[in-house]
């Protein structure tokens, strides 16, 4: 039964006999079995086949010219690739004990004596095919266990890295908040409550505390989102969204931050471009891109561009900063990655990873186009309803 005809990966059985009628007879016996039969008419031809295929069993005639079955078995047992193939010798000789002992010494697992009885042949072949199938199944299970262990090890390493980054990033705004509280307490002890809690001092304290709290909220939200992504629980609330209106709203809200970073923002928006999307999540991605422009490309113009291109709504954020190298472009959408060292720019390095996952849930994409010294353009593509 041919594997090519079956279209399945059945175990392979090798028949080795110098007489064609014997090969035909054995092949006919096995034609209804789930086995892929190969035939060789000499020991050398059998060895060539064994270099190309993995066999579950070899049925080997003892009496062959040039290289008999025992000699073939000895060569098979001395070769790493073939030494574990079970060999059943087929012989017309009488049941000579010395001869049988020689066969087992050469590596036989069993003997079939001519004339062959079909039920005996099939019974013995089925045993070794079942053993082979069980071996293959065990190997697959072991491979799966190894892959699971490797995955768990990477997950543990990722968790440790995540916790390390989180603890470092959370520590900074919390320390800042604590220092502000301690400073106010010292001012109260030194200057008295009236001066310490003046409108000017309290406004400064509230502004600084608000920035610290906002940063903590942002970090916590990123941690929650990465957890939802990892467990497949990041879901969407789809509705009809006017992308041009959303881009205006987000840009207006972030304009004070962009201006503080020295970014002059210009809008080039195609009006009334509609998409089916989760408004909150798309706003989250656009916010992340604009905040990244403020972080990584301060004091440079930023353009927000919206176009309908080939049935896709393309929303781009283009800055005129230092740009991103080709090497960095390949990794910035992975978790815990930044284009700039974490000592220069803070954060978990999760924003673009989460953005990529959000766009994938929308059946859209996010990509970057950039050259060093020529700024960077981040492009969100969503199926358009227009």
Low-confidence winner among 113-122, 182-191, 294-303, 375-384 (lowest mean pLDDT):
182-191
Q: Which of 86-95, 187-196, 203-212, 244-253 has the highest mean pLDDT?
A: 244-253
Q: What is the rounded CA–CA span in Å between residue 347 and residue 157?
A: 19
318 found inside a domain: yes
Between 65 and 102, the higher pLDDT residue? 65
Q: Are 176 and 151 in contact (CB under 8 A)?
A: no
Asked whether residue 148 is assigned to any structural domain, the reply reads no
In sequence order, what DSSP letters do the residues of 331-346 get, joined into one string?
Answer: HTTSTT--SS-TTTS-
In whole angstroms, give the CA distance from residue 371 to residue 298: 17
Return phi, psi of residue 8, to 5°.
Answer: -130, 160
pLDDT higher than 50, residue 159? yes
What the block records as the tokens of 337 is: 């990655």
Residue 196 sits in the same domain as residue 253: no
Q: Which domain-ending residue is among 88, 116, 144?
A: 116
Between 59 and 234, the more confident residue is: 59
Q: Which residue has the higher pLDDT, 285 or 231?
A: 285
123, part of any domain: no
pLDDT digits (tens, 9 = 90+) for 255-312: 988 999 999 999 999 998 999 999 988 998 998 899 899 989 999 999 999 999 988 9
Query: Does 97 share its domain with 161?
Result: no
Whether residues 48 and 85 fall in one domain: yes
Owning domain of residue 285? 239-383
Give the pLDDT confidence score for residue 194 in this predicted structure.
Answer: 80
Residues 111 and 188 in one domain: no
Assigned domain for 23 exists: yes
The mean of the pLDDT values for the chain is 84
Regarding whether 33 and 53 lie in a shared domain, the answer is yes
pLDDT tens per residue across span 360-373:
999 999 999 999 99
Residue 285 lies in a domain: yes
Q: How many domains in the chain? A: 3
Residue at 311 is within a domain: yes
Using alpha carbons, select from 59, 54, 37, 34 the residue that is nearest to residue 110: 59
Other CB atoms within a 10 A radius of the CB of residue 243 amount to 27
Placement of tokens 């004596």 in the chain = 113
**Mean pLDDT (whole number) for 61-73:** 89
End of a domain among 55, 90, 116? 116
Q: Which residues contact 17 (CB under 8 A, 6 or more apart)?
A: 23, 26, 39, 41, 59, 60, 61, 64, 90
Q: Is the pLDDT of residue 32 over 80?
A: yes
DSSP per-residue string spanning 73-124 = HHHHHTSTTTTTS-EEEEE-S---HHHHHHHHHHTEEEEEESSPPHHHHHHH
Which of 92, 88, 115 is closest to 103 using CA atoms? 88
Q: Is residue 198 part of a domain?
A: yes
Kindly state whether residues 268 and 364 are assigned to the same domain: yes
Same domain, 222 and 249: no
Most confident of 115-119, 155-159, 293-297: 293-297
Same domain membership, residue 373 and residue 251: yes
Which of 165, 200, 230 is the last residue before a domain boundary?
230
**In terms of domains, do 271 and 343 share one?**
yes
Phi, psi of 365, rounded to the nearest 5 degrees = -140, 160
């Amino acid at each position: 039964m041919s594997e090519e005809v079956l279209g399945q990966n059945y175990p392979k059985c090798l028949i080795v006999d110098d007489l064609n009628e014997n090969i035909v007879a054995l092949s006919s016996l096995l034609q209804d079995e789930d086995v892929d039969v190969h035939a060789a008419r000499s020991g050398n031809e059998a060895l060539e086949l064994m270099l190309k295929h993995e066999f579950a069993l070899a049925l080997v005639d003892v009496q062959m010219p040039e290289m008999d079955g025992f000699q073939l078995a000895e060569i098979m047992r001395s070769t790493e690739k073939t030494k574990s193939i079970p060999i059943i010798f087929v012989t017309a000789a009488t049941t000579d004990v010395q001869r049988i002992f020689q066969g087992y010494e050469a590596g036989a697992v069993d003997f079939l004596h001519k004339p062959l009885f079909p039920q005996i042949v099939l019974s013995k072949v089925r045993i070794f095919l079942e053993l082979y199938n069980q071996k293959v199944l065990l190997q697959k299970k072991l491979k799966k266990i190894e892959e699971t262990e490797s995955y768990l090890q990477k997950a543990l390493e990722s968790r440790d890295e995540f916790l390390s980054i989180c603890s470092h990033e959370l520590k900074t705004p919390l320390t800042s908040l604590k220092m502000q509280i301690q400073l106010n307490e010292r001012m109260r002890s030194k200057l008295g409550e009236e001066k310490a809690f003046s409108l000017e001092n309290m406004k400064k304290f509230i502004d600084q505390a608000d920035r610290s709290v906002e940063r903590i909220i942002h970090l916590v939200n990123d941690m929650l989102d990465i957890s939802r992504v990892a467990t497949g629980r990041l879901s969407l609330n789809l509705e009809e969204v006017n992308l041009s209106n959303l881009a205006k709203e987000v840009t207006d809200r972030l304009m004070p931050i962009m201006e503080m970073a020295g970014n002059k923002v210009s809008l080039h928006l195609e009006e009334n471009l509609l998409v089916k999307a989760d408004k909150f999540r798309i706003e989250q991605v656009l916010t992340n891109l604009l905040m990244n422009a403020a972080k990584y490309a301060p004091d440079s113009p930023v353009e927000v561009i919206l176009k309908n291109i080939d049935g896709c709504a393309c929303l781009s954020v283009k800055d005129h900063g230092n740009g991103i190298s080709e090497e960095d472009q390949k990794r910035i959408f992975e978790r815990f990655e930044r284009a700039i060292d974490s000592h220069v720019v803070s954060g978990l390095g999760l924003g673009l990873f989460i953005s990529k996952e959000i766009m994938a849930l929308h059946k859209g994409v996010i990509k970057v186009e950039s050259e060093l010294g020529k700024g960077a353009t981040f492009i969100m593509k969503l199926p358009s309803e227009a």
